[in-house]
Amino acid sequence: MTSPHTETAAVVAEPAAAPDTRDGAPVDAFRARLRAFLSAEHPGRSPKGDRGARTRWQQDWAATLFDHGFAGPSWPREYGGCDLGLDEQIVYYQELARARVPGHPGNGPSIAGPTILTFGTPAQRERFLQPMLRADEVWAQGFSEPEAGSDLPALRTTARLDGDAYVVNGQKVWSSNADVADWLFALVRTGTQQSRSAGITYLLIDLTTSGITVRPIRDLSGGSHFCEIFFDDVRVPVDNRIGEQDGGWGVARASLGHERATRALSQAALFRRAWDELVTLLQDRGALADETARDRVAAFEIRVRIMQLTAQRTIDQIRRTGEPGAASSTSRLYQSLLEQGLYELAMELLGPDAVLLDADSGAVQGGRWVRNYLRSRAATIGTGTAEIQRNTIAERVLGLPQIFTPTR
Ligand SMILES: Cc1cc2nc3c(=O)[nH]c(=O)nc-3n(C[C@H](O)[C@H](O)[C@H](O)COP(=O)(O)OP(=O)(O)OC[C@H]3O[C@@H](n4cnc5c(N)ncnc54)[C@H](O)[C@@H]3O)c2cc1C
């Protein structure tokens, strides 16, 4: 695949001094400084249509955050992050959601970055982290395969050691943003096909390498947010392996934990904002004159507050133990169901013209609510299905017998 971003890959600016919030500087002062920065540097609205243009808009914003010392709230300063305490991280995500600025393109800083920080060599940290955080290089995740999603240890893409490189053959699927990404963090099989989690290795794969084909998959919202990826004798340097050969499963589990922790923080802020905007819109359209509608809105407000509390529980767990823990499945499950419930309620209460898409005349807010309604159908599948989350809660939180969740 030819990446549209490789020309910027080598450009890594020195980060500006990160905001000082660790030595007793009050959270309110941090909020005020961040708010002023967001107002001064706001990138404006997303370009319409072209996915490449939207990704570049996200990349430019990530670079602006980096260059002003506001990138990577939990990342060490050495790699351009803010190294914020958890209270400041909560403020960080609240303010970014409030300002409606673009998210980081790809899965780099939320999953691959913390993994490289924990398990990478000094040379790997030096090579990959700053360009990842500044979005000079965009990253995608290559874990799932056609017969290995919930049962990830069944994956079959092979990597055979040949001199100083692995030769990769097989297929990944559902890789979000792989069509606009430069790099893939992937799980491959280096053991026998029966070795399950004991024969998996974690590789960083340059998506411009010969033998890689990336095909976008169109989803029911009309967009192409994820892709299938084919590997045909793709050579990946051994230097791009994270951790030991056959030791990738432990590395991957850490990746998924980081993803969940970051999501708990950012999603709570994003859905609170979306909900507040929906309530304002309903008021403006006179939809809350009806008592039943008001009742449903009040009931949903309670769900939004519970979501914030379950996210807080994950955060408290990280604070106490340094890890998100199994209870993070509760907040993940709650958030995914809340996301679906929010857009279902929007469709019901906004009225018939809410189902029109942007090309149609009379679409409510450019078709924003129906697009999100369609996208939200995937919320209980991505990053682990609702059923798997329920299994995890049953087994690891409630202590029921471990018979459901495939982990090995
Ligand atoms: C929007 C979106 C983005 C994604 N992005 C990425 C990405 O960037 N990279 C990546 O690698 N993957 C990605 N995925 C893939 C995602 O991780 C998988 O879809 C998910 O893990 C489920 O796997 P599957 O699709 O193979 O379904 P399956 O595992 O085949 O599951 C099918 C059904 O069976 C149920 N089921 C399976 N096992 C059990 C069990 N033990 N107990 C009870 N029920 C069970 C499931 O809950 C589901 O309802 C993404 C998916 C979505 C929807």
Q: For 113-142, what is each residue's pLDDT tens digit?
A: 999 999 999 999 999 999 999 999 999 999
pLDDT tens sequence across 296-308: 999 999 999 999 8
Centroid of ligand 1 to alpha carbon of 322 (angstroms): 27
Q: Is 110 in the pocket of ligand 1 (CB under 6 A)?
A: no
Q: Is 255 in the pocket of ligand 1 (CB under 6 A)?
A: no
Q: What's the mean pLDDT in 380-404?
A: 88
pLDDT for 4 beyond 50: no
Residue nearest to atom 27 of ligand 1 (CA): 149
Q: Is 149 in the pocket of ligand 1 (CB under 6 A)?
A: yes
Q: Rounded to an integer, what distance in angstroms lies between the CA atom of residue 256 and that of residue 203?
A: 15
Stretch(es) of the chain classified as CATH 1.10.540.10: 6-133
Residue nearest to atom 52 of ligand 1 (CA): 382
Nearest to 54 by CA among 224, 220, 214, 212: 224
Centroid of ligand 1 to alpha carbon of 329 (angstroms): 15
Q: Which two structure tokens, joined as six digits, stand for 74?
A: 């939990």
Q: Is 387 in the pocket of ligand 1 (CB under 6 A)?
A: yes
According to CATH, the topology of domain 139-246 is Butyryl-CoA Dehydrogenase, subunit A; domain 2 (2.40.110)
Q: How far apart are the first and last CA of the chain?
A: 33
Stretch(es) of the chain classified as CATH 2.40.110.10: 139-246
Q: How far is CA 65 from the centre of its chain?
A: 18
Centroid of ligand 1 to alpha carbon of 208 (angstroms): 27
- The pLDDT-based confidence of 19 (bands split at 50, 70, 90) is very low
Atom of ligand 1 nearest to the CA of 386: 47
Residue nearest to atom 24 of ligand 1 (CA): 149
Q: Rounded to an integer, what distance in angstroms lies between the CA atom of residue 295 and that of residue 299?
A: 6
Centroid of ligand 1 to alpha carbon of 37 (angstroms): 39
Q: Is 153 in the pocket of ligand 1 (CB under 6 A)?
A: no
User: Residue 45 contacts by C-beta under 8 Å, 6 or more apart in sequence?
Assistant: none
Q: Is 382 in the pocket of ligand 1 (CB under 6 A)?
A: yes
Query: How much is the mean pLDDT over the chain?
Result: 89
Nearest to 96 by CA among 45, 143, 34, 140: 34
**pTM of the entire structure?**
0.90
Centroid of ligand 1 to alpha carbon of 152 (angstroms): 9
Q: How far is CA 251 from the centre of its chain?
A: 17
pLDDT tens sequence across 328-384: 888 889 999 999 999 999 999 999 989 998 777 789 998 999 999 999 999 999 888
Q: Is 19 in the pocket of ligand 1 (CB under 6 A)?
A: no
Q: Which of 385, 395, 400 to mutate to test the pocket of ligand 1 (most atoms within 8 A of CB)?
A: 385
Q: Which residues belong to the active site?
A: 259
Q: How far is CA 258 from the centre of its chain?
A: 10
Percent of the chain exceeding pLDDT 70 equals 90
Residue 372's H or E segment, with its range, is helix 368-376
Which CATH number is associated with domain 250-397? 1.20.140.10
One of 3.20.20.140, 3.40.50.300, 1.10.540.10, 3.30.420.40 is the CATH number of 6-133, namely 1.10.540.10
